[in-house]
Structure 1
């Protein structure tokens, strides 16, 4: 039995598990009225996220997807952190899933000379807000986002992480 999840780059054979995890958290845990059809990027992860300076990772525990994170290349050596989701049973200090995922994304960003990571989230994800702030993200206003940042309808709170 593994102690911590293993983070690896996304591959197509994990698509169904990724979709199930994300929808479960959005719809059932947080009651966000969003469907898989509202998220066409989840059907073209390789083309959408794994291009340019972007990437998509999964956290696996015994070959089951328990977490996801991605960096979307938005140009100008900047990235949007997207699709950060962790199964509620794998959150916290016991498994460190969120930290493992975020560390992987930040390491990638440094290696690919990304100067800043931005993210948008919903007001009800309070634990996520604390997690981002604890990990060096600073709260910013909508107007402080770069032009290339894809603001989602549900996003009302925004953060920036400086790498330079």
Structure 2
């Protein structure tokens, strides 16, 4: 990674940058039909949503929420041309740290695809469920979970 990544809270001014990140990940990682759902989510001002900046530009975004003692990661994505440069890892680490600091959570889960499952498995998540073409044709729905007490930062 050539420059440091700074993680900060999402602000309404980040909307267009986050939508551009989404658009850059279609059709490989997301379907165009998900864009309006993502935009509605962002316009609602989601708590726990953050952006990663590098050189003053938003290059990744992602969030989490907690319910019933478990946290769920949501809408995590990075600029496609920057995949593999540690930005996603920095974003995931920041979200896991925020979850730990919030307390009251013993596990973190995510719905992802087969294209990203390896990223999460390398970081201690275990695949708990898989549905072929569960997100879209060619995109399997993969459920994965991380038990926080077992995770080493």
Global fold match (TM > 0.5): yes
Tell me, in whole angstroms, the C-alpha distance in 2 between the residues paired with 1:108 and 1:118. Answer: 15
Displacement of 1:88 = 2.2
Tell me the residue number matched to 2:113: 122
Displacement of 1:24 = 2.2
Tell me the residue number matched to 1:146: none
Displacement of 1:76 = 1.3
Tell me the residue number matched to 2:58: 65
Matches within 5 A, 1:21-100: 21-27=21-27, 29-30=28-29, 32-39=31-38, 40-44=40-44, 46=45, 49-50=46-47, 55-73=48-66, 75-92=67-84, 95-100=85-90
Give the structure with the higher percent strand.
2
Tell me, in whole angstroms, the C-alpha distance in 2 between the residues paired with 1:57 and 1:38. Answer: 17
CA RMSD of aligned residues (A): 2.1
> Would the alpha carbon gap of residues 102 and 35 (structure 1) be closer, same or farther in structure 2, given more than 3 Å must change?
closer
1:125-152 CA-to-partner distances (Å, cap 9, x unmatched) read: 2xx211100000000027xxxxxxxxx9
1:105 equivalent in alignment to 2:95: yes
Structure 1 stretches of 5 or more lacking a match? 143-151
Q: Normalised by the size of structure 2, how large is the TM-score?
A: 0.80
Structure 2 stretches of 5 or more lacking a match? none
Q: Normalised by the size of structure 1, how large is the TM-score?
A: 0.75
